[in-house]
Each structure stands twice: as structure tokens, then as C-alpha cells.
Structure 1
């Protein structure tokens, strides 16, 4: 499979995992140039319609979810009878691997990971998806401690509260709920049971129930109580243990009813390690009928109850007690009940004790409530609760209500405000805009005003936030953010650079924040040396900042080599007008004669530039009887063109050149004899 390309897009790189139904590979998406995870149904199942349907159901279930704590589904496909799902590639470890490495996790780490799993389950449950296979193997933990739930392979859309599987037990035997083991109905509380088992393993390093076979483990889920986590890990907090045990209650109605309740307790524990949660323990009612499934047969249950048979026999024998003994026992019980009731009221101070009308405690301060209770000889049982509506240390509610009659000494239940709960503002800067609502929700905060602003940061990233990261603010406060719109694009009309000197053009490009591209030099009879002949973007065209502009610059007119002319032979004719008789003219005609008769040749001049670096400007002037004439001008890159510059010149006779570097005379004048 390694090297195979699926869907003309996903190139398989390596195997990274596998399960009972599928194998997971790391793959390269050649279209978006990123790594992804590809889950491929095992070959032996490609002819099994039920398994293919289950495989497709996974993609349909997970594809409807979009949450930071859920592994995203990107694509689904089929190629040459290969069924595959493309999902987010998460670089990290499974929670199972993390537990094996550490043995036991710290309380804070258990709470943090559990909250993230609960957030993922809340999102799934809100979308009517029940995972049904929550276990450490299906939780991925990244390097930055973000937990992501994966593998919705046996998830079902919860169209009703009852999901029955008559064929086989669904889920992993060490983690599934008692109702799954019985083939009863499963709902979101079944996922919470599995989360409780996962938290138990995080806290103790082991699963609560072990057995020689899957059936024996399933029976323990139904019938046995787990060893308390504190007996295996004395460092676990009492509150965290209560949460785990409440999640693992056999009866669905005794567990947390939804993820909201669980998150409330986990958040309370995160902010206050000594917080208390309500745990009522086991209730006796069964809230789902026992259904026989192949994994646990009648014989399995009968074998498990063989040890109870003697006890049942003893109970039957006891029913044969004489009727007189039964009547005596009933009569004695009635007497004891009457005595107990009398004693309860007598010793409790209810007989003969004056009655008191319960006053209004709601709205009073703690000190005022205590003083009023002492005055009326009433007891107080005080509990506290965070409240954003009632002032700190003031009574939120009371029980019994105002106006009811009670005996002196009766304990009044008061709920007193702890004020608004303070939470720490998370750091949002550089975070993606889409992640902000989830990060704030995890911190019990809400998203406030959102502004957009141009920035060098990529579009969609947070530039600033208010309040700042680390600040303590009341719970449910809003946090304002400023989001980057990306760099601002400045558009203007391209100026005309043609005919302007190169130095002046460079200053213009720098002022307009345009980038100078490669410069090409050409001979020109129309433009002087160093003047721009053409520009890559025409004048008056709209252009953005940081656009590259290519230029063509003049080298001046091209000097053509003159063909060699023979010198005219001496003549015996009478000297022409203006000739002094010695062959020396005294006017222009003599000079023209000389130009017409002198042969021009070409010579090279090598200019040494050892003392310079970078890009220099090189100008060469010809010294004539009328002054200086610029015959060569160019930019010379020492690093690129070397420390030597060669200048070819065509002429005749004796010529003198002056060489200038960056406007300064370079060395002595150069004399060339042609």
C-alpha cells in the first residue's frame, strides 16, 4: 500500500496504526501539499456489506462534527474496491500510550484531558451522535496538550433514546457500559460511563475490571463494584474520585444526565481542587430491561449465580416459620416503631417546644442572617454558591420559605453567594479566529466585540485582545479581539520613468515602495547614457506596492568601427588654398583631410577596481580640445562582475581618458596611442 495514490491525490507514506476494521496510514495530499491520515477498510471486509455500511456510517457521523477536540474528516472515497476516509493528521500520542508512559496522571492533567473529551462529547451529543467507543486508544493528545476524539466507527445517530443491537456487543469490552453489555438501550450517558472508565485508568494506570474472557469482563461491568481509585492511587482528590464513581454508576439514571452537568463539576474542580460534588451512590432501580445478546448468554449468567443458590435455598426455608412467630415479630416491630417515633420527637425537642415563624433571610448579609437566627433561636445550615446576580456574602435562597412555622432550634437551609466567579483570561494573540469561541468557552468566557484591522499577520489571526491574557475577570465576561485582515494593499498609478536618469528613477521607486527588478542595457541614439528607455509596467497603469519593475537603460549610441582607409600618396600639385606649402593646413579643410586619411583602430582599456565593493557607478570621459565628452557609463557589481572592468575604444592617434568611480576621479588619466 505504501506509495499508492488514492483518488489521484493522496499518496500513502507510512502505516501509523490499525484496528479491527481498518488500517490507518499517513499520507501526503498532493493537491493541498499537507499530511493527512487515511483510514482504509481491511481487504477481508470489502465484500461484507454490513461492515462497509458501518465504515461509511463513521464518515457520515464524524463529517457532521466540527470542533477543536474532534478529529476532522476531510474526504471519503472508494478506489479499486478500496474504501477510505481522509481525516486530519494529528501529530501526537494516544492517551493509552501516555498512560503507559506515565503510569498514573496527575489530578490537574486528568481534569484537563477529561474536560476536553467532555467538550467533544457535548458537541457530538448536541448533533445527536453517540460515540459508543470512548477509550484511551481513541483519544489523541498533541504536543500542546490538546485532546482530540477520533474513531466514530461504531457511532450511531441517536434518532431515539433506544439503540438495540441484537447481533453482538458493540464497543470495547473493558470500557463499554453495562447497558451495552446487556444489549439494552444506549444514550449519551453510555458515553459518559466509558469516559468514567477512561478517567479511572488515567488515575490508577489500570482498568477497573479484568477477566479471562470478554464475557467475564462484561459480567463484571453489570454486577461488580470497582475498587475505589483512592485505594490504588492515594494522591487522587476526593472530589475527582466522586466524579469518576458517579460516571461509573451501573444505573444510567444515577449517572450524570448529560455532559453539561459533568462539565460544571469538572470546571468547579479545575478552579477549586477542594470543591465538593454531589454523589448519591447507587440506586436500586434498573432503568433498562436485560436483553440477551450472544456475547453474554443465559448460561453465562447462570454460571455466575451458582454461588448464590445456597442462599436462595436458605431463604425458602426461612419462609416456613410458624405463623405465631411471624405475628409476634410484627407486633414487636410496631411497638419498636412507636417507641422510635416518640423518642425522635422527644429527644429532638419537638414536643413542647415553642414554634417560630421563619423570617425572610433572602437578601440579608451573612452577618445579618446569623444575628437574626440567633435572635429567633434557629439553627443555620449554610452552603455557598457563585452568583452573578446576588452580592457577595448575601443570601440567595432559603428553605423553609418565609412565613412557615418551625420549632425553636430548627435548622434553616441558607444558600449564600460567593460573588461572581473569577476566571483567568486565556492568551488569544496569534490564535486563529475560528478557534477563539471554543477557547473562550473552555475558559467559561464569551466572545465580545470583534474588529478587523490590516496587519502583517496572516488574515484571520488575532492581533490584540481586551482584557489581556492572564487577567482575572468574572466568569461569563466578554473578551474583545482585533482580527487581522492581512497586509493592506496600496494601489496607485504607475509614473512615467522613460527618459529619466537611472538614479532619479531609483529614488522614485523607493519612495513608492516599488521593487527594482533586473536592469537591461541597450544602445540608443535617442536616449543618453544611463537614461531609462522603457519600463515593464506602462505609465498610468494601476499598480500595488511591492510590485517588481523591470527597466531597460541606455548605453548611449553605438560606435561603429570604421573600415581601414589607405593614406593618400603625396602629390606634386600646387598646394590648395590655405596650404602653407609644407602640408600643414591653416583651416578646417586640413582637419577634414586628416580625418579622411587617418586609419581608426580599436583598443581595450582594463580598469582595476580592487579597492571597491558592492555596486559602483563607472563613468569614462574622452578629453578633447573642446572639453570632456562622456563615452561610457554603467553600474558595475564588484561581487558579480569582478574587480576588473574592460572598456573597448575605437579611435586614431593619441587619445586621453579620465575614469570616474561614483563621481570621483579614479587614478591618473589614461593615454591611448592608436
Structure 2
């Protein structure tokens, strides 16, 4: 190797960075000179840095500064590149998140319908009809049965289904079963426990004539088949008659008329009829206390066993409080007492001439604020002064004022004998 090229190599491999080429441009310059024939490229001065470190010159220091700036620029470029790559990754990640959310059906237009509410139709071909019906009803499907002659399947066996197994349907959708009649007599389908509409449809699909008999039953809900004749499993031919017994619900009874009966007797009657009795009191001026006024529901209403009958019992004649009427004019006192539902008995007492109590109530019996039965009589004593010709005029108009004793001021006057 030429000494000049060896010098370039040693400078590249110098242990001390100060003795290396400060920039790539310096290295390129020496290599260009070597290629152009300048073979004396050995460093001038002390031994190479690999043998003895040389003191940095001002030129070497300047080269070192340029190298530091170059490294700083490279770091800035790497930072910028990292930032750009990170931004691109974030954009891609955001796009993937949006696409994932859209696949879940979440968008501005609301949730997209999913298949969560659908149920898969099971395999029923080759299954006995009773078992197939039970499977479909447990899955909450509606069942339609059609019978056809099929020599490949035993009677009352499903040989086809529509839709096919594996199809996903909503609950309450209809699954049609094609059932083999076989080659011999048919076996009667079990319909006990079915709704009457389903039972009639399935039996008529077998070519049978259906008769319905209503039967009272305290437990089985109305409209449900409780028995059948012939029984399930019996051999039968098309055109035969099948009787189905359907619950009409519990037997109903009419509520009897219990008015004016003692409450205990009424409660016993209600209990014997299979009902529950409750009581409530109500005042009555007609029905004695402790006796029945009426029932709710009223008499002759149809009622199922276990129902509640409310018995309205008389609490007796209602009580009222006597209003205070002392010092009121006669007419005002009578109006107040009658408004309270009481009868009024007016008595008069002669007073001295020009008495301020003339025409006014001076006493009452019973006294004010006493509680008495509605319709009771209250006596009031009204003061009266002697008038001309031995008559005692009394103002009965209810007018207030100082002319209460003037016989010409009222529309009604009541007289009593003078001195009476």
C-alpha cells in the first residue's frame, strides 16, 4: 500500500477523534488528491495519533467544532423524523379505531340491528311429533303441522321442516312441520295443556273433526285444554271426531243481597261462598247500626271464587255538633240549626218593654257544642215584648238592627198571648 494511502487509513482509524478527519469533505478531498497523483499525503509534524497524541491545534479545534455541529444537526434530523413517523402512526391508529367502532354498529344513526335476538331452528326431521312440538315451544316458536302420506317415515314422525334446520328466526315465528301419516292408522296427537286455538288447528290438520266442551276449573286458566277424547296415542282415521275439554275458568256465583243483615251473618255467608270479606263503616239514618247497608260488588254481580267482597256496615245515625245560636235573631238561629241537620222548636219568653233581647235567642237546649244525633230537636227560647192589643210581635226575617221588635219590619210574625 502506498504511504500516502496508508496515511489516509491511519487518520481514519485514529483513536483520538481530534486526529481523525473532521468532516467527510476533508476525507473526500484527500482521496481526490490521491487519485489525481498526489501520493505524498502523510501528515506533517509529530507522529500519528495512534503512536503519540498530538496537542490539538487551532485548526483541529475548528474541525472538532464542525464535527459537533454536524452531530447536533444529525440529532435534530433524527428527532424530526421520529416525530413525523409517530404522527403517521397515530393517524393510522385513529383510522383503525374508527373502523373498529363502525364494525360494532356505533355511528351517528344509532345502533345497527344485530342478530342477538334470533334463535336457530333445531334439527327435527325424524323426531316424533310430540317431541318436536315440545322442542319448538321451548324455543318460543309457533308450530304449524301438516300431515302427508309418507311410507319412509313412521306415522306421527316429522319428515320435513320449513325453514330448514340452522335457519335463524325471531321468537314467535312459525316453523312448519310436515308429519308422516304412515301407511296405517294415525295415532292421535296429545293436545292437553295446549291453547284451544292451537289444539283445534293441529287436530284439523290431521283431518279430524273437533268438538269443544267448556268445563269450569278452579285452577287451570280459561282457554286451555284440560282433557281430550279419545286419549292421546289412540289409533284414529281421518274424519273421526275428537272432543276437547276446555277450561272456562273457575265457577262464578252471584253476590247475594245482604242488606239489613247483621254484619257477622253477612261475613259468614261470603266465606261459605268461597270469597273473602272486608268491612267498612258508613253512617246511615235508615239502616240500624251494625247492619249491612250494601256490598261492593253489588248484589247479583257474578264473582269468581277467591274474590274480595266489601261489606258496607252502618255506623248508625251520624252525630252533629249543636251550633251556638244564643243572641242571634230568631230567623238566623233557625237557619243555622236547620243547616246542621237539626229540627228546631221555638219557644217564647215575655220580656220587659224595650228589652234589647226582643226577637233574639236568649237560651238553647241542648247547649252549644254538644254532640247529638242528626235530625234531633233543639229548643230555642226567643225573647218577646208586649205589643199593642195584647199581642207579642216577633221579627222572623233575620234582619239585624234596632227595629227587631217593630211589628211592621218583618215578613213573618209569630204571636203568643200577652204575658205568656
TM over 0.5: no
Larger Cα-atom Rg = 2
Relative contact order, higher structure (CA 8 A, sep 6+)? 2
TM-score (normalizing by structure 2): 0.37
